[in-house]
Structure 1
Amino acid sequence: MHLTVEQTYPAPVADVAAMLADEEFVRWRAERSTGPGTVEQVDVDAAPDGALTVVVRRSLPTDQIPAQARPFVGERLEVRQAEAWEAPTGDRRVGTVALEIAGTPVRMTGTLSLEPLPDGGTRQVYAGEVRAAVPLFGGVVEEAATGTLRGTLAAEEQAGRDWLAGVR
């Protein structure tokens, strides 16, 4: 199932990129978007050329997943997300994202980008494919996972907006 999510921030690309490279922000954003779950790990590794790798591992309850999909995922989800940003190219950043739910056949892989908006803000775009290798119920699981990802990314966007506004 294809997933595209656009987020906007009222700050230039350089400021948004700096925020995304800040380990304190990454942990804070993950904690806010995890809800009743827990953040197990946050690693941010920045290279001298500006390339960046961000890894977040969190544990989430499955109470918001449709009942018919729960037998495939258990009572808690361990979600691992890795973002690999390339070095900056002008005022644009691009990278790849991979997300997996440990112990399940659910994966999301795709691209992400930061680009300037005409008003001086920034657009961040996640685009990828959510796949669930579950016979007969793959579509149900993919739909549930895609809905959860959309909600998580919306919470992360709000966290970024709050961070940029100094609300912590």
Structure 2
Amino acid sequence: MQIQARNDFAADTVTTHAMLTDPAFLTAVCVASGDLAYRVDGVPERTAVERRLESPSAVRGLLGDTLTLLQDIRWNPAGPDGGRTGRLELTVQGMPARAELAIDLRPGGRGTQVDFTGEFTIKVPLVGRSLEGKAVPALTAGFDVQQQVGDDWLAGRRGQN
């Protein structure tokens, strides 16, 4: 199933990328998402997040009460305007579910726009497509949380200057 999402941050590309790869920011996103447990690692070239959360009711019968998401983002070097591209891979531990998204971070909007586009698949015979349809809103809601945490993060940074 196709996924498209956009974040629009009020900061330049260098500041936005630094935020998106900061372990403290990644932790704040996990906390705001209500994750039960998490581990984060971030450097400018790559971030990795392991998150345990309550299973959506649509997959609770398959996975139990909780599920573990593994998120890996690899960033390409910055261009002349500070923009970057990257790749986000998201898997669900113990389930044949995978999202592979291209990331395009570039000047635009309020300062920097970050577009996520790609595919999410659940390879379970007969019910995979149905499960994808139920899971995609939860995945895209994660980008909304990232937007809100990012807005708060950047507002706090401006207040420190």
> What's the TM-score, normalizing by structure 2?
0.90
Deviation digits for residues 5-41 of structure 1 (CA, Å, limit 9, x no counterpart): 01101111111011112211111122212x2x22321
Counterpart of 1:86?
Answer: 76
**Distance between the aligned counterparts of 2:133 and 2:63, measured in 1?**
14
Matched, 1:42 2:40: yes
- Whether the 8 Å CA contact 2:9–2:110 is kept in 1: the answer is no
RMSD: 1.5
**Distance between the aligned counterparts of 1:27 and 1:70, measured in 2?**
25
Match of 1:161 among 138, 145, 151: 151
* Runs (5+) with no aligned partner, structure 1: 47-51
**Which 4+ residue blocks in structure 1 deviate beyond 4 angstroms?**
none
Matched, 1:21 2:25: no
Q: How many residues align?
A: 156
**Distance between the aligned counterparts of 2:110 and 2:90, measured in 1?**
30
- Whether the 8 Å CA contact 1:65–1:144 is kept in 2: the answer is no
- Whether the 8 Å CA contact 1:30–1:156 is kept in 2: the answer is no
* Runs (5+) with no aligned partner, structure 2: none
Partner-residue secondary structure (3-state), 1:165: helix
Counterpart of 1:109?
Answer: 100
| Identity percentage of aligned residues | 29
Q: Which moved more, 1:140-149 or 1:79-88?
A: 140-149
Write out aligned runs for 1:116-135 (5 A).
116-117=107-108, 121-135=111-125
- Whether the 8 Å CA contact 1:8–1:157 is kept in 2: the answer is yes
- Whether the 8 Å CA contact 2:91–2:98 is kept in 1: the answer is yes
Give the superposition deviation at 1:128: 1.1
Give the superposition deviation at 1:132: 0.4
Counterpart of 2:51?
Answer: 58
- Whether the 8 Å CA contact 2:22–2:43 is kept in 1: the answer is no
**Distance between the aligned counterparts of 1:131 and 1:73, measured in 2?**
16
> What's the TM-score, normalizing by structure 1?
0.87
**Distance between the aligned counterparts of 1:152 and 1:26, measured in 2?**
12
Counterpart of 1:6?
Answer: 6
Give the superposition deviation at 1:156: 1.0
Deviation digits for residues 110-158 of structure 1 (CA, Å, limit 9, x no counterpart): 21111111x6511111111000001111112111221110111111111
Matched, 1:32 2:25: no
Deviation digits for residues 38-87 of structure 1 (CA, Å, limit 9, x no counterpart): 232101133xxxxx10000010102x433xx3322321110010100111
Partner-residue secondary structure (3-state), 1:113: strand
